[in-house]
Structure 1
Amino acid sequence: ALAEYDNARKDLERRKDLAVKNLIAMKDVDDAEARFLVSEANVRAAREEANTLLATLRAKRAQAGLAEKKLRDTLLKSPIEGFIEARLISTGEYVKVGTPLFRIVDDHPIRLLGEVSEAYATSLKSGLPVDLSVDSQPGKTFRGALRRISPASNPANRAIQVEATYPNDDRALKSGSFGKAAILLRVDPEGVSIPKQAVVTFAGIEKVFVIDNNVARERRVKLGDDLGERVEVVEGVAAGQQVAVSHTGKLVEGSRVRVEAGERK
């Protein structure tokens, strides 16, 4: 359209010059002017069409940008690492702002909540090792650390709530599981502990029977910390000695015994 317009303009100017010199008739000038006006109208129409197409393109781009934003808005990103424990909505369900969609469990690290007798209140401190065993992982012990200690005890059971954390890199510990935990109040490489059932108490005296060549030898003991199923022995039993844990009420000094199983700790 622009080339046609430019040619028509030049032809009109040339014919006007010739008409001034009386070299052509005015009809030729009128014809050239008509062609020029048509080409000029074509240029305006082309420009209007181009502007319309440009406006349409801009509108399409805006629509595409809005569609991309809507698509991005459909992507949900969890603020924490973990796994989806529960899906709280269904496909196609209408939800409002603030509606819970999923329940995410962060199990790396994982927390343990438990209670400890208030008798150990003065011994508890953050950072103490906490060994955990769970039924789903028999024979395996997980080492964690004490992180939080409640400042008050529960008057109903005189226990203090504590919280420990475990790295759980392999995700072996599962959320909601139950287990048994032991807080290592102090580590003594030379310490000795025995099963509680090995201790015989009579008239306020605590004693055990050490097994020596299948003979029971009575030993008075001084006990230390309560370690759950075991108890610390401060005096009376050396590391590696065997103690009787059954039929202790029938034993006396020098009784002959038969060892079926033994522990050395």
Structure 2
Amino acid sequence: MKSFTGWVVLGLAFSLTIFTVSCGSESQSKNVSDKDSTAAIPVEVAKASNGDISAYYSSTATLEAQDEAMVVSKVRGIVKKLHVEEGDFVDTNEILAELEDEQLELEAQRAKATMDRLLNELNRKEELFNKNLISAQEFENAKYEYEAQKSEYELAQLKIKNSKIRAPISGVISDRLIKAGNMINTDQEVFEITDFDPILAILKVPEHEMSKIKKGQQALIQVDAIKNKTFEGQVLRVSPVVDPQTGTFEVTVSVKDETKQLKPGMFGRVQIVYDTRQNALTIPKNAVISEDGINSVYVIKNNLAYRKNIRTGYANGNNIEIIEGLAPSDTVVTIGQSSLQDSAMVEIISL
């Protein structure tokens, strides 16, 4: 009986030992697995690459037309006919409107009749003068009267010509200030013409940027009114004078717009390209960590993230130039840096 009881106790002890070892092994395995899964931090990465990168001077400006003309009437009269409306494109010397010219025609005919009479009188007196039958003074007076009347006739002809109001420049009718039937006076404003080619952006640039901005440099322009479109242009003029009150100088950018979408008065954002570096090493800007004036990135090697200090150069768009600290083959963390420490284990979820 004792022997049987002993064997039972021994069996129970052996089973308990096996159960304890099994539970311990399972718990240890679970802890290792949990440790491995929490140690790898998910990150997104990108490779450093070579390419061209430019430096920009950025500013804002309200777009302006290069040429604008306020058309005025050169004679007084009633508007008989309009040939153009707002938004129409016109060429130089194209007829915009016509005034009633019947009275002007009559005045011109009367002036011509008087001129013809005085011409005959002049010819007759010239014959008499050549025969010494009249004085030189009388002949000269006849000549002056004829010349004065000839000018009157030419002026009447000019008034008839000016009764047709013409465009002084090519462009678009941006404002019509008269209607058919209106009585208008001499020098009254009747149309406004705007030349949209090219459109100008005039910038006020701080004087310390003067050494960077040169005539002919490329410029990129975006306007709030036209989304997701960039227009190209170039620096047309650079003023050599600095305004002492503002400490700025004037830069005029000419914008090409073959689509005619840009209009004077639009608010634009202008970037002037003042330098371009070719085959520069670049990475996404969101990979750079800036702390206390020091720039750094996390570089991935063997699934570990190592923090490295870098020196940056030009930045534009989504990229930034790396002058020192990285090689073209390096892979850097772009998203997830805030959770990293030096030598942290990572799991790459996007490249």
- TM-score bin, normalised by smaller chain: 0.5 to 0.7
How far off is 1:254 after superposition?
Answer: 4.4
Q: Which residue of 2 aligns with 1:164?
A: 253
Closer, same or farther in 2 for the Cα pair 1:96/1:115, shift >3 Å? same
What is the CA–CA distance in structure 2 between the aligned matches of 1:213 and 1:173, rounded to whole Å?
53
Unaligned runs of 5+ in 1: 1-58
What is the CA–CA distance in structure 2 between the aligned matches of 1:242 and 1:136, rounded to whole Å?
39
Q: Matched residue of 1:172: which SS? A: coil
How far off is 1:164 after superposition?
Answer: 0.6
What is the CA–CA distance in structure 1 between the aligned matches of 2:231 and 2:167, rounded to whole Å?
28
Q: Which residue of 2 aligns with 1:128?
A: 217
- TM-score normalised per structure 2: 0.46
> 1:211–1:241: 8 Å Cα contact kept in structure 2?
yes
- TM-score normalised per structure 1: 0.58
How far off is 1:183 after superposition?
Answer: 1.1
> 1:145–1:166: 8 Å Cα contact kept in structure 2?
yes
Unaligned runs of 5+ in 2: 1-108, 114-153
Counterpart amino acid of 1:75? K
Matches within 5 A, 1:46-57: none
How far off is 1:86 after superposition?
Answer: 1.5
How far off is 1:74 after superposition?
Answer: 2.7
> 1:154–1:160: 8 Å Cα contact kept in structure 2?
no
What is the CA–CA distance in structure 2 between the aligned matches of 1:138 and 1:153, rounded to whole Å?
34
Matched, 1:201 2:290: yes
What is the CA–CA distance in structure 2 between the aligned matches of 1:172 and 1:211, rounded to whole Å?
47
How far off is 1:178 after superposition?
Answer: 1.8
Q: Matched residue of 1:133: which SS? A: strand
Q: Which residue of 2 aligns with 1:178?
A: 267
Counterpart amino acid of 2:295? E
Aligned length in residues: 202
Match among 254, 265, 276 for residue 187 of structure 1: 276
How far off is 1:146 after superposition?
Answer: 0.7
> 2:281–2:323: 8 Å Cα contact kept in structure 1?
yes
What is the CA–CA distance in structure 2 between the aligned matches of 1:170 and 1:94, rounded to whole Å?
38
| CA offsets 1:103-125 (integer angstroms, 9 cap, x no match) | 22111111112344544321111
> 1:131–1:183: 8 Å Cα contact kept in structure 2?
yes
> 2:231–2:256: 8 Å Cα contact kept in structure 1?
no
Counterpart amino acid of 2:203? G
Q: Which residue of 1 aligns with 2:242?
A: 152
Matches within 5 A, 1:55-66: none
What is the CA–CA distance in structure 2 between the aligned matches of 1:243 and 1:118, rounded to whole Å?
38
Q: Which has the higher contact order (CA 8 A, sep 6+)?
A: 2
> 2:284–2:320: 8 Å Cα contact kept in structure 1?
yes
> 1:214–1:259: 8 Å Cα contact kept in structure 2?
no
What is the CA–CA distance in structure 2 between the aligned matches of 1:259 and 1:100, rounded to whole Å?
69
What is the CA–CA distance in structure 2 between the aligned matches of 1:153 and 1:242, rounded to whole Å?
48
Closer, same or farther in 2 for the Cα pair 1:249/1:134, shift >3 Å? same
Larger Rg: 1 or 2?
Answer: 1
What is the CA–CA distance in structure 1 between the aligned matches of 2:339 and 2:205, rounded to whole Å?
35
Q: Which residue of 2 aligns with 1:101?
A: 190
Closer, same or farther in 2 for the Cα pair 1:125/1:89, shift >3 Å? same
How far off is 1:182 after superposition?
Answer: 1.4
Q: Which residue of 2 aligns with 1:253?
A: 342
Closer, same or farther in 2 for the Cα pair 1:204/1:66, shift >3 Å? closer
Matched, 1:234 2:323: yes
Matches within 5 A, 1:111-126: 111-126=200-215
| CA offsets 1:154-203 (integer angstroms, 9 cap, x no match) | 765x6544211023233132222222221111122313455655432234
Q: Matched residue of 2:228: which SS? A: coil
| CA offsets 1:200-221 (integer angstroms, 9 cap, x no match) | 2234322133567986543322
| CA offsets 1:14-63 (integer angstroms, 9 cap, x no match) | xxxxxxxxxxxxxxxxxxxxxxxxxxxxxxxxxxxxxxxxxxxxx69x69
Q: Matched residue of 2:161: which SS? A: helix
How far off is 1:244 after superposition?
Answer: 4.7
What is the CA–CA distance in structure 1 between the aligned matches of 2:230 and 2:255, rounded to whole Å?
11
Closer, same or farther in 2 for the Cα pair 1:231/1:155, shift >3 Å? farther
Counterpart amino acid of 1:104? I
Closer, same or farther in 2 for the Cα pair 1:80/1:167, shift >3 Å? farther
Q: Which residue of 1 aligns with 2:310?
A: 221
| Structure 1 stretch displaced more, 98-107 or 209-218 | 209-218
Q: Which residue of 1 aligns with 2:163?
A: 74
What is the CA–CA distance in structure 2 between the aligned matches of 1:193 and 1:160, rounded to whole Å?
33
What is the CA–CA distance in structure 2 between the aligned matches of 1:163 and 1:78, rounded to whole Å?
26
Closer, same or farther in 2 for the Cα pair 1:250/1:73, shift >3 Å? same
